[in-house]
Structure 1
Amino acid sequence: MKKILFLFLLALGIPFATIAQKGGYIVIKTAHTGLVFHEEKDGSLHQIYYGQALKNPADYYLLPGTRDEAYPTFGTKYLFTPAIRTVHNDGNPSLALVYKSHQQLLVAPGVEETTIHLHDPKYPVEVDLHFKAYLSSDVIAQWVTVSHHEKKPIVLYQYASAALSVSASNYTLEHFHGDWAAEMQMESTNLTAGKKTLSSQLETRAHMYQSPSFLISLNGTSTEEYGDVIGGTLAWSGNFKLDFEVDEINQLRILAGMNELGAEYHLLPGKTFTTPAFLFSYSNEGKGLISRNFHKWARDYGVLNGHGSRYTLLNNWEATYFDFNEEKLTNLFDDAKQLGVDLFLLDDGWFGNKYPRNNDRAGLGDWQENKAKLPHGIGYLVKEAAARDLKFGIWLEPEMVNPKSELYEKHPEWIIKLPNREEHYYRSQLVLDLTNPTVQDFVYHIVDDMMSKNPGIAYIKWDCNRMVTNAYSQFEGNQQSNLYVDYVNGLYKVLDRVRQKYPELPIMLCSGGGGRVDYGALPYFTEFWPSDNTGATERVFIQWGYSYFFPSIATSAHVTEWGDAPLKFRLAVSMAGRLGFDLVPKKLNAEELALCQQALHEYKAIQQTVWQGDLYRLQSPYDHNVASWMYAANDKAEAVIFMFRIKKLFDSKIAENIKFKGLDPGKKYLVKELLVQQGQKAINKANGKTYSGDYLMKVGLPSNLNKVQQAVILQLKSL
């Protein structure tokens, strides 16, 4: 009844207001955590608590004040790194913020939004701190808006999304970095006095070297199940900066937001500057709970259609690269049909006529079908795929252009490049200027024209293969230092238009691999491409890293010929995410083809548990020669366990049992090993046996993986 009443009032535009706070306290709560602010005597707002929820709500109002400023400013009395720095019209470089008012509203079932209004008593500048508390997932999103009524623009030199204060005896930071084909590699470091910064200046492929995601263990090293942990990730697809500063009394300040380097923002009077959301969650039960919190939040809010279905697919890239024609492609359609996938994806190389896209040095930007390769156009391929009961998808890279293209010849002013400097090429291409509304319109129509002409297209792979260098906008009237911020907002405007017209179209987020994976972009996409490295052993590490913040339903994982791992191992790694194929089916012998078909059949039986179940990481590839993790269904009726032997030991056998998690101790579970080829024996000796959930969690099972690059998938079904 309450939910019906809420929805009725919300439809009328009448939100619920929560009970007013008292005594200068503002309490933001999720199911298991609390974040508390307090107005001090001088009017400043301080964050005084973030951690485990207090059972008695009245106890929040007993918390002592003065831990740290909620949004510290530059130029007055604050002694550490500020969250905001600005210069006023009269040249005054300071900002002083005091509490003005706040509101707390229930904006959707289970989502409470808090807005805290701060202002400068001497200058007409207002800063609002916004929070969305997602009750069931224990995730809080924080962002900031800045506005003013001075006569001329003010300049924002720093503008963090959040300033989180933490007090503990010690801090261990785990962060994620890498490069092309080696994304999301984990590294751990102790934070000591001073400041550590993680940042990016790459803009379009902002996450290629560093990820805007981290874990902080408090009061000692945490494990998957034990310890106090804060996890955070920035929902922004451009340059970012994360500062971790430990002061002289061992208090930690976390500043998260856009990277202001070269991006001082000139804010016009009456306009509002909005930072991206910083998402964070607290756990007193280790890192595993942090991941499950983010996964639940992501399926509900952070990924498009997070509770829906996904296609299995065959991509032509490794089969043909740029060298294909209609006959080759339709033959691959037959292969895809025989394989048993849902969709065929046509990758790069299908476009360009004056400058044919026969390699990565020409044609990008000229989005017409290449007449030599595809004389009958994309529509013919869509129909041919449909005739085989296959869906059809296509690759696009809408933000980019090759200098060798008609687009470059017609509109050189649309390109980001410095005056009086030689053009700098990466992958023989340049970036289109999405701060320009005309360019935004062009990029939108690449998608819209393709879909309007070929409404049968069922999937798009959106790629982005270079970063921004020589950053300069040729758009008349642009403030150059606003470029880094306005480009990403321009991208979001395009994506928003696409989603307004095509709300359900599956689109993969790709950026030369995992160069752009964040919750700023993912609400527009159904999945992301973690890495161009599809070598199965390396993918265990890459997918392990992404699993801390991103759910498996959004993690594309293709079976390819990269590396030397056996086919079964490659299939098992891919089945741990969104299964797809990027190989040459005709190269498979009868036994291998049958194993792929078996994998697709078995995957469809377990995919809901893999996509929607709770993730438990069991053995880390960084610490063990067997990596293992599992997904447990919410009702605990099913679980799927993945085990991979990745390293050699002096001892050829592994005796250690793997203890499972997330099961019902009172249920009985039948163990079934998947991917057991016809005529062969199961690797795991528990296959076909029944165990209680209590036994499986307390005693566990051995992997029985005695050879490098062996894999086992176990399905547990309650009886």
Structure 2
Amino acid sequence: MFLKKIQIIALFMFAVAGNHVFAQNIITIPIETRENALVMQTDADNHLFIIYFGKKLSQTSEYQSIPAQSTQHDDNSGIHNSAYTPSGTWSISEPALQVTHADGNKSSDLVYVSHKTTKENDNISVTSIILKDPVYQVEVTLFYKIYSNENVIEQWSNIHSDEKSEIILQKYASSNLYFIAKDYYLTHYNGTWAREMQPEEEQLTAGIRVLDSKLGTRANLFQPPSFLLSFDKPASETEGKVLLGTLAWSGNFRMDFEVDSYHNLRLIAGINNYASEYPLASKQDFKTPSFIYTYSENGKGEASRNLHNWARRYRILDGEGSRLTLLNNWEATYFDFNEEKLSALFKDGKKLGVDLFLLDDGWFANKYQRNNDKAGLGDWQENVKKLPNGIGHLVKEATNTGIKFGIWVEPEMVNPKSELYEKHPDWVIKQPARPEHYMRNQLPLDLSNPEVQNFVFGVIDKLFTENPAIAYIKWDCNAITFNAYSPYLEKSKQKQSQLYVDYVRGLYKVLEKLRAKYPKVPMMLCSGGGGRVDYEALKYFTEFWPSDNTDPMERIFMQWEYSYFFPALAQSNHVTDWGKQPLKFRTDVAMMGKLGYDIVISHLNEKDLQFSKQAVSTYNSIKDIVWHGDLFRLVDPKKNDYAALMFSSKDKKRAVLFSYLVNNRYEAGSDVPFRLQGLEASKKYRIKELNLYPETKTAIKEDQTYSGDYLMTVGFNPMVNTRRTSVIMEIMEAQ
């Protein structure tokens, strides 16, 4: 599969006839990873087009001849395959760039000026391509950061104006791609609170399919900025051409998938331009967020492993490091706790064997006490009734018990019933002439305001300054943006249309400042569940909370879908009392990522406690493979009675297999073996069942050895059924 240039007739005449006058003007720019290539080429008028996307050719010089193979003359419908489509001139396609110039003119054109490639190291290089409007003093630089071994491209644009006065950016995409295939199949996701990452696959047809968010904060609530795109036919885990794409932006996003009149596909991704016309002053720059993508011709599994390897190595904070197991008090106490209750939970955490205790919502506010979600948010002083000795006392007591201490915050938000709201109503996002509208009884603070940025930073900084031993932060964000209006932008005579963009930029300023001062403290990115996770936020966070829905049956499906885009060490999975499944099932599901607990340990019976303590120990023995190994999804729960996936170490000496029953109908289960992946065919392996509940025996013959060839060709049956609803197996090279 490749992308080609739909050229003007003159250029096709050149390609066939070999016109040497034109040939001097034609520039071909290959953007290559280890296995793939995106290739652009100029025409005789110096417009830049995408001519190829797909598997890398062995002879780079052959890219330049690709346009000559096309007979699609684009005479009447405008040029579709622009590398960055301008608006208002020669293209009638959906634009990547839409500008109102200083004189009011709304047309733009972009021609090639120059390009260069800078090599950062043996694996990373950055190609920058400068395009310029031949009439107006507007310049766009396209950046392509190549991670060769991971087959990942990170793409963004920088828009610069030298016009005498302000211009208005009406659309400003990060990426503009072009594909040719027989057909296109888009997998995207929808949902809401407790129903995140619900997948849908559809065949794209003529016209534009838009994925977008207009929520401001918690922007991923209904739809995340991530997708899978299959070419020719729907891709499987091991077969098919597929692109995984995701936008690294924590606010409103938009992705346009446009099937043009030639049945070729245009993709434009970036910040949502809805209500977001952005002024750009003379001599200023506007940098768009990164659009990150990887391509594979060997199915979804390889593509997701590409992305995982890239994310752990280059993007997620401490992505190649370790994580803390924790005990959270939320479902044990909700808002009803005091120092005595918490002290008992510290001891429970120590008894269980976890690393950390996490104190959740409800520890703050006095005038309007935080005894429910209706009051106190924004007043970040310890509640003297619940915690008369303060956070410092809790930190010391946890430390003395032999466990670390972490704490929940939601510093971007405020309850109207709070001292902060009374003192600073001008810090709140709300329309002055309309009734306030709440989500979880709260409103966002205006992070476009530098004073608010300082306040939010100060909330965390004060906690760390007064309590340096705090070892973990859970950062929540539970409301979207209604009635978008910034008193700060109004007062400073800036445009209200900047708010959605400037809010996110303000958030990043706070996080950058925090990480400069506290570079290593683990932080969970939470937003009423997975309402915000993206690869820009994960520069600052070690992990994210996929969903408030911790029912393990639901989590099997959610975690499966999240795993296409995010590695397991970034997913926080807690054992809770949600669901009807036994404790072993709930624990086994949570062990597929970063394990945590949110249960009352003192309520466990003797066997449950014995099992849970052993489960933490078992998890500690396999967590490195789960966090840093290669993931192989083997049996899809959406299509089968059971699910199975495995993590394999890079040296293929050890693997961990997880399998779960997802259908309780008569005789449901794994009645035949399924093929494993990620092993070495020539190696011999033993298989051992882990995490057995006390006084139960395995159905696996643990004294038998198998070749990797056997396990990957014939397969293995973990014997999942209604009596063995969850199974974890360790696959070890036989010595």
- TM-score, normalising length: structure 2: 0.94
CA distance in 1, matches of 2:89, 2:358: 57
CA distance in 2, matches of 1:64, 1:679: 69
CA 1:22–1:644: 2 relative to 1, 3 Å: farther
The SS at the match of 1:459 is strand
Looking at structure 2, the residues matched to 142 and 324 of structure 1 have their Cα atoms a distance apart, in angstroms, of: 48
In 2: Cα distance, 1:581 partner to 1:45 partner: 54
What is the match of residue 33 of structure 2?
Answer: 30
Q: State the AA in 2 paired with 1:584.
A: V
Q: 1:617 aligns with which of 610, 633, 639?
A: 633
Query: 2:56 aligns to what?
Result: 53
Aligned mates of 2:701, 2:49 — CA distance in 1: 56
Look up the equivalent residue of 1:36 and give its one-letter code: V
Is the contact made by 2:641 and 2:669 (CA closer than 8 Å) also made in structure 1? no
What does residue range 185-224 of structure 1 map to in structure 2 within 5 Å? 185-224=198-237
Q: Is 2:279 the counterpart of 1:266? A: yes
Instruction: Give the Cα separation in 2 of the matches to 1:648 and 1:568.
Output: 16
The answer for the alignment partner of 2:677 in structure 1 is 661
The aligned residue for residue 706 of structure 1 is 721
Partner of 2:99: helix, strand, or coil? strand
Distance in 2 between the 1:709 and 1:510 partners? 33
Range with greater deviation from structure 2 (482-491 or 688-697): 688-697
| 1:296-311 mapped onto 2 (5 Å cutoff) | 296-311=309-324
Comparing 65-74 and 195-204, the one that deviates more: 65-74
Q: Please state if 1:693 is matched with 2:708.
A: yes
Matched, 1:499 2:515: yes
Aligned-residue offset at 1:55:
1.8
For 2:688, what is the secondary structure of its paired residue? strand
CA distance, structure 1, for counterparts of residue 122 and residue 510 of structure 2:
29
Question: Does the CA contact (< 8 Å) of 1:509 and 1:527 recur in 2?
Answer: yes
Which one-letter code corresponds to 2:148 in the other structure?
L
Supply the AA of the counterpart residue of 1:422: P
CA distance in 1, matches of 2:649, 2:483: 49
| Counterpart pick for 1:451 among 464, 474, 490 | 464
Q: For 1:242 and 1:572, locate their aligned partners in 2 and report how far apart those are by CA, in whole Å.
A: 36
Q: Does the CA-based 8 Å contact 2:667-2:722 persist in structure 1?
A: no
In 1, Cα distance between equivalents of 2:25 and 2:408: 55
What does residue 378 of structure 1 align with?
391
Distance change in 2, residues 1:686/1:249 (3 Å): farther
Supply the AA of the counterpart residue of 1:41.
A
| 3-state SS in 2 of match to 1:702 | coil
Partner of residue 522, structure 1? 538
CA distance in 2: counterparts of 1:287 and 1:78, whole angstroms: 34
Give, as a single letter, the amino acid of the residue that structure 1 aligns with 2:340: E
1:417 correspondence with 2:430:
yes
Which of residues 687, 693, 697 is equivalent to 1:677?
A: 693
SS at match of 2:292: strand
Deviation of 1:708 after TM superposition, in Å, equals 7.4
Return the match for 2:653 from 630, 637, 648.
637
8 Å CA contact 1:565–1:709 kept in 2: the answer is no
Contact 2:667 2:721 in 1 (8 A): no
In structure 2, the partner of 1:550 is 566
Give the conservation status (yes or no) of the 8 Å contact 2:80–2:260.
Answer: no
Q: Is the 8 A contact 2:378 2:415 kept in 1?
A: yes
3-state secondary structure, aligned to 1:531 = coil
Q: C-alpha distance in 2, partners of 1:652/1:168?
A: 39
Provide the secondary structure at the position in 1 that maps to 2:196. coil
Equivalent residues of 1:239, 1:258 under 8 A apart:
yes
Letter matched to residue 48 of structure 1 = I
**Aligned partner of 1:271: which letter?**
Q
Using a 3 Å threshold, how does the CA distance of structure 1 residues 371 and 677 change in structure 2: closer, same or farther? same
d(CA) in 1 for partners of 2:378, 2:668: 54
Q: Which residue of 2 aligns with 1:573?
A: 589
Q: Which residue of 1 aligns with 2:158?
A: 145
Q: Does 1:391 align with 2:407?
A: no
Kindly indicate whether the alpha-carbon contact (under 8 Å) linking 1:417 and 1:470 is maintained by their aligned counterparts in 2. Answer: yes
Of the three residues 31, 41, 44, the one matched with 1:41 is 44
Indicate the residue corresponding to 1:360 in structure 2.
Answer: 373
Aligned match for 2:86, one of 62, 66, 73: 73
Equivalent residue of 1:416, what SS?
coil
Q: Distance in 2 between matches of 1:529 and 1:621?
A: 21
Q: CA deviation at 1:651?
A: 3.5
Sort the Cα spacing of 1:709 and 1:366 in 2 relative to 1 into closer, same or farther, 3 A: farther
Aligned to 1:283: 296
**Structure 2 CA distance for aligned equivalents of residues 611 and 689 of structure 1:** 28
Aligned residues: 698
| 1:309–1:654 Cα change, 3 Å | closer
Offset at 1:122?
A: 0.5
Task: Output the CA distance in 1 between the equivalents of 2:64 and 2:669.
Answer: 57
Write out per-residue CA displacement over residues 26-54 of structure 1, whole angstroms, 9 at most, x where no aligned residue: 11111111111111111100011111111
Q: 1:116 aligns with which of 129, 148, 154?
A: 129
The secondary structure found in structure 1 opposite 2:422 is helix
Partner of 1:383, secondary structure, is: helix
Match of 1:468 among 472, 481, 485: 481
C-alpha distance in structure 2 between counterparts of 1:123 and 1:487, whole Å = 30
SS at match of 1:701: coil
Q: How far 1:702 moved relative to its partner?
A: 1.4
Equivalent in the alignment of 1:11: none
C-alpha distance 709-528 of structure 1, shift in aligned 2 (>3 A): farther
Q: Is the 8 A contact 1:37 1:70 kept in 2?
A: yes
Residue 268 (structure 1) shift: 1.3
| Alpha-carbon distance between aligned partners in 1 of 2:595 and 2:666, rounded to the nearest angstrom | 34
- How far apart, in 1, do the equivalents of 2:667 and 2:727 lie? 20
**1:270: how far off?**
1.3
Spell out, residue by residue over 1:578-615, the C-alpha distance to the aligned partner (whole angstroms, 9 max, x if none).
00000110110010011111111111111111011111
Q: 2:447 aligns with which of 400, 420, 434?
A: 434
- The answer on whether the counterparts of 1:566 and 1:709 sit within 8 Å (CA) in structure 2 is no
Work out the CA distance in 2 between the residues paired with 1:535 and 1:109: 45
Contact 2:80 2:266 in 1 (8 A): no
Distance (whole Å) between structure 1 residues aligned to residue 25 and residue 479 of structure 2: 52
How many Å separate the matches in 2 of 1:213 and 1:309? 26
CA distance in 1, matches of 2:423, 2:721: 61
Shift of residue 537, structure 1, vs aligned partner: 0.1
Q: Distance in 2 between matches of 1:191 and 1:583?
A: 45
- List aligned pairs for 1:245-260, cutoff 5 A: 245-260=258-273
Q: Are 2:32 and 1:64 equivalent residues in the alignment?
A: no
**Aligned partner of residue 67 in structure 2, secondary structure:** coil
Shift of 1:73: 0.7
Moved more, 153-162 or 700-709: 700-709
| Equivalent pair of 2:679/2:712 in contact (CA under 8 Å) | yes
Distance in 1 (alpha carbons) for counterparts of 2:522 and 2:25: 47
Structure 1 unmatched runs, 5+:
1-20
Q: Is the 8 A contact 1:195 1:245 kept in 2?
A: yes
Residue identity opposite 2:204 in structure 1: L
Contact 2:413–2:444 at 8 Å: present in 1 too? yes
Structure 1 Cα separation of the partners of residues 162 and 638 of structure 2: 54
Q: Is the 8 A contact 2:689 2:700 kept in 1?
A: no
